[in-house]
Structure 1
């Protein structure tokens, strides 16, 4: 393996040679801002400077951590996701990802990250102890079942990989070893290895639950990192099947919109939108409060890797939403059927911000992207879920997302 080195100079004297990314006094190997170079031909907002975008992300992070990142006893942190002081593993994964990505801009980032890690380890799933129990109350007790949710598990694993790149694994926590434990547990318990689909969680192993999957869990960039870190080629099966499901739903159920449903089931030898009230609401087969994240999750893999297997779906999605809203981001509503009928009535940041990420795929969307950036950066706080999705979308839009 070829190794690059940094030369440290003081008063003209060479003090040491360190591998790039080795632990240094400042601590971060990949400090914010990253200014990642995305796939050729993609775009970012052009109506503001890079510095303005970086500062907007830092401002949103400061507000986010003030509102939602809370102590959970000595040396531990959790993410307060509602007014009752409860949390879920989804929120925990968000907190860990944000902490590692904001390192360099926030001197306490590793303290937050390690505290979140310790909380995660104190709340294992009863089914697979390397996954996280999905929900706790304000007393940090597991509630509503001690089992996992796939999205939280995946973000926690991915954040640990980034922590290895950010701080190295020679400190108090071996981030890489811990990441591999979670990744292997996801493959064991969160993946249906008959169909190579992501389960809803480690509990969803039989009946309709066993064949169901959730497009907001389609973190393709994560899956590729999981394979790179572990060498487990089974992740290729999951990645390939995930892209196949996206394109099957697009071809058969949303060819005029490119929208993904909240849940997908396997029925009559095909993957189809779930029926109403399958798990959460009457909109389980529509583009609703789960799948609103798909323009961010799916487009990010194209921006980072150039994998164009969902590009036709993303292009249709972009053209449809611009037409639907008359190119006005204020007209984006919180819910649509897959054919494009509006089912929501609120202009939620959880819905408009991710469309900024999908808009980055083509220069044809430049003015649309600019308007979504401006709206998102200038938006007031709404709540944990909306504010988290806005911050992640701004990280990507400002070219500050990076990968293992």
Structure 2
């Protein structure tokens, strides 16, 4: 099928559709913490919101960070990260001249000024390779998680130019594919479809970043789009009845293939759900928050104290259907605190930093007690390099790292927020002495270091 010929009418209809949907929020209510009836602004009517058991905090109140927390550290890292892991459409046109002429099929009109976060080299994935030689040959793909992370990072760096270009990358592909969730993997800025199914963590982060930017700027377009995405998340990625977060919107993830639903606890973003509830009174976001915290705490209590990358509702770990957790030859990782779960401390520490939810504190405390015991209280210990098993009966610890990856140093460090001031002090010094790797395989390592560094150094400023 020649998808290009459908672009012009599709873009026109989507532009109208997004405007019509967003138009319902043109007089959006002032943001309200759904767990506190006091409006944070009296600029408009207070939206309906559910009453919950989770306490709120006054505007601007945050938990304590280390005394050595220094925003200049992530500010200093940012230009280097941006220079290696981010590219604009205009610059990419110089790299990929063989297919750059097709960029305008997706990115034109309001989406023409776009940028993307570059995924790591994918030497075995022909869709991520190009005919050119050199450093960019196998770096043609972008994943939606990178767009979400990049939007959060640039929002906290107050870099509106980069933020808007990443937003346009998401908007362009959503409009081109006539959907409200960003395709989880895309190829450069082209119209070639790699896989237009969704990844829920990315959708949550993209919508969250848009709300943050709305709160910073009062630009209604940000909020309108965030609510469009939030509705799609509810409709396509929240499990009806259980209120659990599913990992994507296809039968592989939503159980419509007749198989048990596989959950990924690193996709649980409490802050996202709280922000959605501030502006969207039509969906039960607090029910999702409560269901996910309940499941998270049960999973943690059922194992060694860490989390498996992938799990089932019956409190067991499971090999995911997408094959992302290894194989018989290389070994399986789904039972361990591994490449998925490394994001859990960031998401839960962020929730505690802003909202001081006791459930967040409980999760962080168990994690911190675990690693303090393994490392004898030394955040410089090689013990932080091990991917620990959630249940040794389901699989052994994974000890493949020869040194402590920076994202793991930072992840274990964040478990000290609210729980262990000495640990937090000592490990923040180590994180702040770490640098970016900036090579073709360091996409994940470097982008997580940026997020953790911003959190640990106080750049995750509350915008409400």
TM-score range for the pair, normalised by the shorter chain length: 0.7 to 0.9
RMSD across aligned C-alpha pairs, in angstroms?
2.7
Partner SS state of residue 228, structure 1: helix
Partner SS state of residue 183, structure 2: coil
User: Which of 386, 389, 395 pairs up with 1:337?
Assistant: 389
Indicate the residue corresponding to 1:79 in structure 2: 117
Partner SS state of residue 219, structure 2: coil
- Taking a change above 3 Å as real, the CA distance of residues 253 and 300 of structure 1, as seen in their structure-2 partners, is same
Mapping for residues 2-401 of structure 1, pairs under 5 Å: 37-39=61-63, 43-46=64-67, 48=68, 53-73=70-90, 74-83=112-121, 84-85=138-139, 86-103=141-158, 109-124=159-174, 129-138=179-188, 140-141=190-191, 143-169=193-219, 174-203=221-250, 204-205=253-254, 206-207=256-257, 211-254=261-304, 258-266=305-313, 270-275=314-319, 279-281=323-325, 282-326=332-376, 327-331=378-382, 332-339=384-391, 342-346=397-401, 347-362=404-419, 365-382=420-437, 383-401=442-460
**1:240 to partner: Cα distance:** 0.7
**1:215 to partner: Cα distance:** 0.7
Q: Is the 8 A contact 1:36 1:399 kept in 2?
A: no
- Taking a change above 3 Å as real, the CA distance of residues 143 and 358 of structure 1, as seen in their structure-2 partners, is farther
Counterpart-to-counterpart distance in 2, 1:259 and 1:181: 34
Q: Please list the CA deviations of residues 105-162 of structure 1 after superposition, one character each: whole Å capped at 9, or x if unmatched.
A: xxxx111111111111121299971100000123544554211100111100001101
TM-score normalised by L of structure 2: 0.70
Question: Mind listing any 5+ residue stretches in structure 2 that lack a counterpart?
Answer: 1-28, 32-40, 44-58, 91-111, 122-137, 326-331
Q: Is the 8 A contact 1:81 1:91 kept in 2?
A: yes
**1:391 to partner: Cα distance:** 1.5
Counterpart-to-counterpart distance in 2, 1:149 and 1:155: 10
Q: Is the 8 A contact 2:413 2:427 kept in 1?
A: yes
Counterpart-to-counterpart distance in 2, 1:166 and 1:154: 18
TM-score normalised by L of structure 1: 0.80
Indicate the residue corresponding to 2:131 in structure 1: none
Counterpart-to-counterpart distance in 1, 2:175 and 2:355: 32
Counterpart-to-counterpart distance in 2, 1:366 and 1:308: 17
- Taking a change above 3 Å as real, the CA distance of residues 351 and 62 of structure 1, as seen in their structure-2 partners, is same
Question: Mind listing any 5+ residue stretches in structure 1 that lack a counterpart?
Answer: 4-18, 22-34, 104-108
Counterpart-to-counterpart distance in 1, 2:195 and 2:283: 32
- Taking a change above 3 Å as real, the CA distance of residues 37 and 355 of structure 1, as seen in their structure-2 partners, is farther
Counterpart-to-counterpart distance in 1, 2:286 and 2:42: 29
Counterpart-to-counterpart distance in 2, 1:183 and 1:334: 36
Partner SS state of residue 71, structure 2: helix
- Taking a change above 3 Å as real, the CA distance of residues 216 and 209 of structure 1, as seen in their structure-2 partners, is farther
Q: Is the 8 A contact 1:82 1:384 kept in 2?
A: yes
